[in-house]
Amino acid sequence: MLIALTLALQLGALLSDQDRQLIDLARATVEAEVLGKQPPPLKGRLDSRAVFVTIEVNGQVRGCRGSLTPITAHLEGDVSHFARAAAAHDPRYKPLNSKDLKSFLVTITVVESIQPISAVDVLAPTDGLVLASGSKKGIVLPFEGRDPRTRLRWAYQKAGVSEGAPAELYLLHARRTRG
């Protein structure tokens, strides 16, 4: 029974229709970007939300782009935009190539809420962390690491701010879908 449940989760059989549509859109958009084709048409039915799209190939992150604020009028537009950006325009990674399309995984992280916190000790692995220092932000998404202190160090690095510099901390709640 446990094996069947694990396989169902891996294959996306337990995803809601909305999550499956977003994953399918992100995957089709990544494929179109890599192959130089037009991205799929958007239906634009879902309310706009802050979202991040992460792409992995063989278990290694190869791109992650997103925003804490929506950039289009609907969630599908943001997912499509950030899927393209993660596939070919994340300056931290090499763009995906056609060989990568055989084994890539997409994770969509839809931000549900952001709440101020005074210390990182309250973070669970299912929580994300946002560090704000002046105009700079460092974002550590849910499930990026487990140790709260390590995640805080990463947030400082991502923000480009010296560790220990004055900063505001926020707990990020999100819905995460993989496929």
Question: So where are the chain's domains?
Answer: 2-110, 113-174
Q: Is the pLDDT of residue 136 over 70?
A: yes
* CATH fold label, 113-174: Dna Ligase; domain 1 (3.30.1490)
* Count of H-run helices and E-run strands, the chain: 4, 6
- Decide if pLDDT at 83 tops 80: yes
Q: Which band of pLDDT confidence, cut at 50, 70 and 90, is reported for residue 14?
A: low
- What percent of the chain shows pLDDT beyond 70? 92
Do the domains 2-110 and 113-174 sit in the same CATH topology, yes or no?
Answer: no
Phi/psi-derived region of residue 2, left when phi > 0, alpha when psi is between -120 and 50, beta in every other case? alpha
Average pLDDT for the chain? 92
100: nearest Cα among 50, 147, 29, 30:
30
Identify the CATH number of the domain defined by range 2-110.
Answer: 3.30.700.20
- pLDDT(147) > 70: yes
Contacts of 138 (CB under 8 A, 6+ apart): 130, 131, 154, 155, 156, 157, 158, 159, 160, 161
Give yes or no for residue 60 having a pLDDT over 50.
yes
Per-residue pLDDT, 45: 86
